[in-house]
Chain A
Amino acid sequence: MIKEIENDLRDIVGEDWVVTKREQMEDYLIDETPASARPQPAAEVVLVKPADSQEISKILKLASEKKIPVFPRGGGTGLVGGAIPTKDGIILSTERMEKIEIDKENMMAIVEAGATLEKLLKAAEEADMLFPPHPGDEGAQVGGLVVCNAGGARAVKYGIIRNYVKGIEVVLPTGEIVNLGGKLLKNNTGYNLMHLMIGSEGTLGIITKVIFRLYPKFGATATLIVPYENRHDAINTVPKILQRGIIPLAIEYVEKDTIEKSAEHLGKKWPCEEGNAFLIVIVAGTGIDEVYSESEKISETCQENNSLEPLIAESREEQDRILDIRSNIYTALKPEIADILDVTVPPANMGKLMDVIDKIAEKFNAYIPTYGHAADGNLHPHVMVEKGKGLDHVKKLKNEIYKAAIDLGGVITGEHGIGKIRIEDLNLCLSEKEIQLMEGIKKLFDPNNILNPIK
């Protein structure tokens, strides 16, 4: 079936941009999902790399007509198998579409879907502006960031990816190209289809262009490492900092064993010798005096909550080193990870969730390294591969953690999404009616069920 359309695809994108040999597309068949949780890619797939939204439109029209599944793909940095082609079909990579235009007057960036986060951060900086969020891997592409509504660190002050998106260009599964939103900060015209697209994980359309809001560059930033002997003291400090009227750029929670492992993995040293649990707080302001003044207040609050002596990093190199060690916990642990969870609870329940996870670890006699975005109530417990314990063990452990999060008013995923590996678990926190509505929406946008059709 796929063979039949290869020539049609060549006619659309040119013969250089259609890949049919399996060995030339290995990297496109997987993503960053841990190997043991990752779904198997289908046997018969073709990879296409269109140059623009017109070509994507033609491909989707063809796929709709032939009822062939299409798997849109960005940087392949997802953790839930979202980009893996699980049925015979077309992998559609937007990597060639990577232009970035900066609109200084409106303080916005107009970015094609294939541009990487790294490129966007750089372009904003070169224009003396800032794209504040940092959802981990900088190899992620903009289309993927938006369609998966990425979160990550640096979401405390201005929010997650959704909060920055002001407009998108989307190719619908039936081939129409629509522009939703625009360079607008206020827009109340009808249902907000743009926000429906954000987080739809490539099931409703292929995002080809995004308008992001940018912010002025901070005059100064500093990264504090606040060590604690006791994890609860660390977690309890977080709402106190916010209640005091200080909204840092990021508040991350990490523990000694995992952060030291990550540092070692990078050939670096975790700079804080004291403590078992740490808050990493990124403070940003218009100038260094403001940053010091906020840091002093944060430090007071931390010490009122039994922290040890906070350290401060100010130079770019030292701040980057800390963020890098934090961002690489996953890569350091990856060979031993069975699944990385991203359960999210109301922020004030974060400590309780961690306690329940401790009990689950004890019950299953398992090691569950845990860290997360402390101010967002978003925690990453890792289910590890353990010798002699099979997939059943992983599933049971995962379900207990999910249940704990839901009991505390939370959800099973706060940022990684459903992808292909959490579909079965969706009914744990969504009602039948909600799922029905979602299925109806999918049908309306994609009557032939071609885009990421497993969902």
Chain B
Amino acid sequence: MIHNSGEAANERPNIIVLLKQVPDIEEVKFDTEKGTLDRSSAKAEPNPFDLNALEAGVQIKEKLGGTITVVSMGPPQAESALRDALARGADRAILLTDKKFGGADTLATSYTLASAIKKLGNFDLIICGEKTVDGDTGQVGPEVAEHLGIPHVAYVSEIKKCDKEGFVTVSQMGEYRYLTELKSFGLITVTKDINEPRLPSLRDKLKARKSEIEIWSVDDLTNGADRNKFGIMGSPTSVYKITIPSVEGRRGKIFRGTPDEATKKFVEELEKILKV
């Protein structure tokens, strides 16, 4: 396996996991006027898909050794998601937090994360969740890889092989399964099918509460990165409108007449609904 520095990779891989803190999506309320989520309306937790990414990293580390660095971009309170990651087996946690990172779309977010990864230097594998439950785009992972100019595989539902020669992954794409061999360093995004994240022990959780989280601001990344590509400045997309689909409850309707008449009425009604 070749390292991103061009040298032969460590037998013990350096793994980077990207993680985002999100609101509990079952509880969160939408601000339809601003087109945003009202994050104060719900408890914050690590994006569930990112926990699958971390678990995949921990399983590789258990097999091959190495280290896991978790990187997150978010407000200062996102520290708690990183502490959770430390309790679940990460070795190092970095939070990219700065007002100038605010208002970022997926392009600016991925640029910021890629800049941090460049600063970190050597890595063998970057693992992300397939998407976040609050943004739902699935773009950030692959965009990070594009900014870094490295290969990437999305929607990985199984790591068939991982050793010093590289990785073989399976991506579930609808009815098809793509088998991909990753001989050099790269980035993968994983689905929920890849594993069931383990629970941290209470002891590790309490220990992680006191662990150090490294905080990086814009100034920590500007060596080599373009300041104008961070945050809202670097975001060509914005949310135009947000609508909440209305949830139709169950409705009962009785169709009367002879069986033939009633069936006819029923079919007509069904056609009406399907047309809508």
Contact = CB atoms under 8 A, between A and B. Distances in A.
Interface string A285-297: 0001000100110
Given A16-B254, A296-B206, A311 B45 contact: no
B200 to A, nearest CB: 6
Interface of A: 16, 125, 220, 224-225, 268-269, 271-272, 288, 292, 295-296, 299, 309-318
Centre residue among A311, A315, A317 by max chain B CB count within 10 A: A315
Contact of A269 (B27, B51, B196, B203): B196
User: Would you call the interface of chain A mostly helix, strand, loop, or mixed?
Assistant: mixed
B45 A310 contact: no
- Chain B interface residue number, banded: 20 to 34
Contacts of A292: 205-206, 209
Given A271-B196, A295-B202, 17 more contacts: A125-B27, A224-B202, A288-B80, A292-B209, A296-B202, A296-B206, A299-B203, A310-B201, A310-B202, A310-B203, A312-B199, A312-B201, A314-B45, A314-B84, A315-B45, A315-B46, A316-B27
A318 B24 CA distance: 12
| Nearest 10 A/B pairs, CB to CB | A311-B199, A315-B45, A312-B202, A310-B202, A271-B199, A309-B201, A269-B196, A299-B202, A316-B24, A16-B254
Nearest to B51: A315
User: Would you call the interface of chain B mostly helix, strand, loop, or mixed?
Assistant: mixed
Interface of B: 24, 26-27, 43, 45-46, 48, 51, 80, 84, 196-203, 205-206, 209, 254
A271 B196 CA distance: 9
A213 to B, nearest CB: 22
A316 B22 CA distance: 12
A142 B206 CA distance: 40
Contacts of A313: 199
Nearest to A312: B202
A89 B165 CA distance: 74
A225 B198 CA distance: 12
Contacts of A315: 24, 45-46, 48, 51
A316 B26 contact: yes
Nearest to A320: B26
Contacts of B51: 315
Given A269-B196, A271-B198, A316 B45 contact: yes
Centre residue among B51, B80, B205 by max chain A CB count within 10 A: B205
